[in-house]
């Protein structure tokens, strides 16, 4: 399954290109799920996507700036891929500085869409093989998730709960054991009962972290040093 987002403030165009994308995927025998966005709300949901078709000019919103925010957030995952769409040829060079996966002029949509989707899906499948995975054991059932799909991990009584893009999973184990496995893989211990994944941190203050899915998590007094490290790492992500 390939999750595809179409981002354009023109709702009519979103409907048109969605049909064309679905048709192209059917021709390529690719199973896809599409969702339309009409503003920068895609930034909060970008981690759920594999491929984003992004209009460069959306009224007061710059598609190029939206792309920069998405790339910053997904720096560690390489996904989603971004394909720019535009009818503004004078913005081509500015758009290419962001280094998108590809670029399609709207007038060339008919001829360019299918080959671009084919190349993007090949790249997505390659990236998926490279992404690090983690196995969660729920009783007799084992679930494998990508590490960067985990929002945060907390514990309750004898269980550790993994909150992920795919949903919540629980494992009968100790949080300290999970911490030992993931401490060098971008997870921060922000209190005695919670680990948070750096790739999903939207903002950070002295006593609170906001994730890109809207969840707010408290930083305990004994873990204040982690705030400085988080801020430092977030600044480095912009470099």
* Residue 173 near residue 182, CB atoms below 8 Å: no
Crossing angle between the packed helical segments 109-130 and 11-27, to the nearest 10 degrees? 70
| 32-37 and 2-7 strand pairing | parallel
State what percent of residues in the chain have pLDDT above 70: 92
Task: Say what the pLDDT of residue 182 is.
Answer: 93
**How far, in Å, CA of 26 to CA of 23, rounded?**
5
pLDDT in tens, 136-161: 999 889 999 989 899 999 999 999 99
Write out pLDDT tens, residues 84-122.
998 776 666 666 677 788 889 889 999 999 999 999 999
Predicted model pTM: 0.66
């Amino acid at each position: 399954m390939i999750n595809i987002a179409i981002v354009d403030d023109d709702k009519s165009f979103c409907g048109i290109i969605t049909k064309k994308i679905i048709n192209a995927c059917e021709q390529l025998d690719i199973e896809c799920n599409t969702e339309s966005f009409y503003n920068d709300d895609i930034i909060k949901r970008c981690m759920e996507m594999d491929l984003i078709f992004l209009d460069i000019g959306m009224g007061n919103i710059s598609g190029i700036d939206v792309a920069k925010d998405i790339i910053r957030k997904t720096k560690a995952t390489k996904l989603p891929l971004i394909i720019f769409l535009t009818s503004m040829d004078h913005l081509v060079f500015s758009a290419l500085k962001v280094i998108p996966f590809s670029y399609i002029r709207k007038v060339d949509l008919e001829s360019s869409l299918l080959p671009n989707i084919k190349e993007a899906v090949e790249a997505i499948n390659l990236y998926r093989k490279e992404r690090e995975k983690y196995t969660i054991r729920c009783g007799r059932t084992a679930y494998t998730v990508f590490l960067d799909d985990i929002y945060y991990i907390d514990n309750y009584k004898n269980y550790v709960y993994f909150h992920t893009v795919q949903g919540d999973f629980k494992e009968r184990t100790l949080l300290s054991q999970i911490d030992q496995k993931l401490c060098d893989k971008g997870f921060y211990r922000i209190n005695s009962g919670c680990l948070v994944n750096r790739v999903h941190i939207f903002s950070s203050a002295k006593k609170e972290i906001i994730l890109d899915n809207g969840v707010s998590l408290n930083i305990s007094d004994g873990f204040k040093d982690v705030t400085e490290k988080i801020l430092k790492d977030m600044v480095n992500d912009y470099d």
